[in-house]
Chain A
Amino acid sequence: QSALTQPASVSGSPGQSITISCTGTSSDVGSYNLVSWYQQHPGKAPKLMVYEGSKRPSGVSNRFSGSKSGNTASLTISGLQADDEADYYCCSYAGSLYVFGTGTKVTVL
């Protein structure tokens, strides 16, 4: 299983919207509606932001939204805030195991 492909970095100004892509294959992202997204601040454990493609856990801001088209999942952060600056990872079920994305560093300009 190969890691899902994410852009290494994405940046935006406060208040803007950004989108992080996560490209897999028909064996993972394309076959299951089981993509999750994690936010990780330096030195901290990952925090679940979106699961099952587009669902948000209780307590996660509705500024975070997930979607999928074919073999590519996306995380959109609207109304970008300083605290959104972190690393983001997608994760997909792949039939018998799970696979993470390569990770994206989000910078708030």
Chain B
Amino acid sequence: EVQVVQSGAEVKKPGEALKISCKASGYSFTNYWIGWVRQMPGKGLEWMGIIFPGDSETRYSPSFQGQVTMSADKSISTAYLHWSSLKASDTAMYYCVSLYASGNWGQGTLVTVSS
């Protein structure tokens, strides 16, 4: 059974760093792209980018280039989304999506940035 499990909710202050995780299982992690999707409060879905865990090739949507960093650790089948300096506008739900088969979504990680 394919499972995509994300790390828990985070509450951070502006300027702090954060890395959230996404652990996939039930398929060959290195052979399928993993994507990240943002959903700001009351708003629609936005593709942030995708990463290929086999060689860590990354593709960022223009709006997110330079704002976040995607990475992956093949040894533990886990993908990450990292911010070096959070802003209040980063407050959102973040979903990890494995592009294996027809797609498998994580449960989402709520990130709240507030002073």
Number of interface residues of B (CB under 8 A): 18
Contact A98 B50 (CB under 8 A): yes
Q: Is the interface of B mostly helix, strand, loop or mixed?
A: strand
Contact B62 A38 (CB under 8 A): no
CB < 8 Å neighbour of B46 from A40, A55, A57, A100: A100
Instruction: Write the nearest CB–CB distance from A53 to chain B, whole angstroms.
Output: 12
Does B45 reach chain A (CB closer than 8 Å)?
A: yes
**Chain A interface size, under 10 / 10 to 19 / 20 to 34 / 35 or more:** 20 to 34
Chain B interface (Cβ < 8 Å from any Cβ of A): 35, 37, 44-47, 49-50, 59, 61-62, 95, 102-103, 105-108
Chain A interface (Cβ < 8 Å from any Cβ of B): 1, 3, 36, 38, 40, 45-46, 48, 51-52, 55, 57, 87, 89, 91, 96-103
